[in-house]
Amino acid sequence: MVFPEDRESSTESTPRRFRKKREDETESVFSPRKQHGDRGEGTKGPEAAGDAKPEEAGPRAETWSPYAEGKRSRGPLWFTLGGVGVLALLAGGLVVMMKSGPADPAATGEGRRTSAPLPSAPPGKYSYAAERTTDPEPLTVKELFPKKKFAVSGRSYEMTVTSKLKKCADGAVGDKLLKALKSGKCTQLIRASFRDKSGKVIGTVGVANLKSSKTATKAASVGNDANYVKPLAGKDEVTKFVGSGSGGTKVWMHGHYAVMIWFQNKDGVKPDSKGSKVIFRAATDITKATVFKALDARTLTGFPAT
């Protein structure tokens, strides 16, 4: 049986880097399947330099003249001459400054940007995660499945077993899917199995690391009730039945990853319409809380979340 579509697998480019959240499908189609295995500024001159003759200074000037009568004009002649010389030097300096104008920042190198601009993220919906070349770090079990027990909207789940494969063919079923994984240069396939709190719903989630969005899209396109993730049976009294009886399957793409699921009733009995919704809700709860959360982090940075 094949679960209804609940995630967008299109590779269309949008500004948004997070996957869109979709509501659970109202109907599910099951097909029985028996499992057999700052710029610088120059110095500016004043608006008016003034005459070297101190008696012509403006009203704000508080300098004194050696020619003025009064107590301050009775100093020695050499002191008076020295003062005149200093004023002359100051006036000459001001004239030179006014002629030179403000310093040119371009000539001095001031205000120039010295740091290179940061590289922009790859375009498209999956950004860094679209290709293995921009998302090079291998997947880990801890990254994809960080918690053994967790809850989603009050519904509790538990992970019971994990598996990490370098030979992707060992974790998938169906000629078309195996061919798609091989042509997509699959380097690893990580799986984990889960149960709900009641122990009535069980299933396996797998993530295959392919070379590009194109090859992951191909893998997703061939997913059906004959091409799916190989169920991973646990050793506990509940998930040891994963893979027996009738199961629901689905394959999604997220960038250069193929996300595959197999979920079922513990007793392996084909569910009715209501039961189908319960099983598919558990599958989407678990994948959104684990693998898709981890892959969204890679979409933003190209590296595992820290």
CA distances from 93 to 35, 47, 96, 198 (A): 97, 14, 5, 92
Q: Could you give the 3-state DSSP secondary structure of residue 108?
A: helix
In the prediction, which pLDDT does 305 show? 85
Q: How confident is the model at residue 298 (pLDDT cuts 50, 70, 90)?
A: very high
Q: How far apart are CA 248 and CA 201, in angstroms?
A: 11
Q: How far apart are CA 249 and CA 35, in angstroms?
A: 12
Q: Could you give the 3-state DSSP secondary structure of residue 193?
A: strand
Confidence check: pLDDT of 301 > 60: yes
Percent of the chain with pLDDT over 90: 60
Confidence check: pLDDT of 187 > 50: yes
State the angle between helix axes of 213-221 and 175-183 in degrees (0 to 180), rounded to the nearest 10. Answer: 180
Q: Could you give the 3-state DSSP secondary structure of residue 214?
A: helix
Q: How confident is the model at residue 205 (pLDDT cuts 50, 70, 90)?
A: very high
In the prediction, which pLDDT does 151 show? 97
Q: For residue 170, give the nearest of 161, 159, 181, 185 by alpha carbon.
A: 181
Confidence check: pLDDT of 191 > 80: yes
> pLDDT tens for residues 144-177?
999 999 999 999 999 999 999 999 999 999 999 9
> pLDDT tens for residues 242-284?
999 999 999 999 999 999 999 999 999 999 999 999 999 999 9
CA angle 47, 51, 57 (to 5 degrees): 80
Q: How far apart are CA 262 and CA 275, in angstroms?
A: 15
Q: Name the pTM for this structure.
A: 0.66
Q: Could you give the 3-state DSSP secondary structure of residue 145?
A: coil
The one-letter amino acid code at 120 reads S
The one-letter amino acid code at 225 reads D
Mean pLDDT in residue range 35-62? 43
In the prediction, which pLDDT does 117 show? 55
Q: How confident is the model at residue 120 (pLDDT cuts 50, 70, 90)?
A: confident
